[in-house]
Amino acid sequence: MAKILGVIGHPIEHSLSPVMHRAALKELGLDYHYDKFEVKPEELENFVSDARENFLGFNVTVPHKVGIIKFLDNLSKEAELIGAVNTVKFENSSAKGYNTDGLGALRALEEAGQQANGKKVLILGAGGASRAISFQLAMEGAEISICDKAGDKAEELAAEIMKKLNKDVRILDFPIKEKLDDFDILINATPVGMSPNIDNSPLPREFLNPSLTVMDIVYNPLETKLLKEARETGCKTVNGTGMLVNQGAESLRIWLGVEAPVETMRNALLNELKK
């Protein structure tokens, strides 16, 4: 049986996936190799073809999450809905694509004691991460609102969720101009606040209220300006490591059929980020 796992992207040197997955495989006592592979878009088809022979599976990151679909044989329900893949598994040289990003975000919220069902959720951004999170939380019964500086992208995503899940999505104009009193959960699914631009926040502090749970998908820095201001306001906060670790744990479950040691993965990730 193939013993190679990994992550592909372009560029890939920044990826923290190997740190988490190697720690998990070591704890589980499993003899698999997890590496990162620099794959340019024009090399993607050949990579997938070659990987069928000697890989168990791999994670997929920017810029291949959509482009890889045409080289796979089938998709999970989530991957099909979201229209993007972050995990590939080979079985009998057949390649199946999955998307664990949305589930990673859901699990991160659950770790913070927050269920999605019936909650009013505002998601900032309408890019790839937002797509995965919006679909997943909508499937879980959350009421979704989206705000993106490219209003047409938000409109497109809302229309797609309506078409595929028959759920209304509210669009908020950018920039947000009012206090977020109507929401239970705020999720920043944009790169705003990411290192080196750590003094940026996607919205003013005065729009936050203490009853919000605020999640940021950015994990460098661990506490973004948004999360710092949310914490000081009295909000419950969830940093970007929660989604990253939980989507990775779900990938391991798909490949190996085991429950991943989430805390071991989280500690390995935190130690790496503190270097």
Q: Are 3 and 229 in contact (CB under 8 A)?
A: no
Q: Are 199 and 167 in contact (CB under 8 A)?
A: no
Residue of 65, 89, 96, 225 marked active site = 65
**What value, to the nearest 5°, has the Cα angle with vertex 69 and ends 65 and 72?**
130
CB atoms within 10 A of CB 41: 11
Residue among 168, 172, 194 nearest 122 (CA): 172
**8-state DSSP, 112:** T
65 is catalytic: yes
Specify the residue for token string 């990987």: 51
- Round to whole Å and give the CA distance between 18 and 260: 14
**8-state DSSP, 207:** G
Cite the active site residues.
Answer: 65
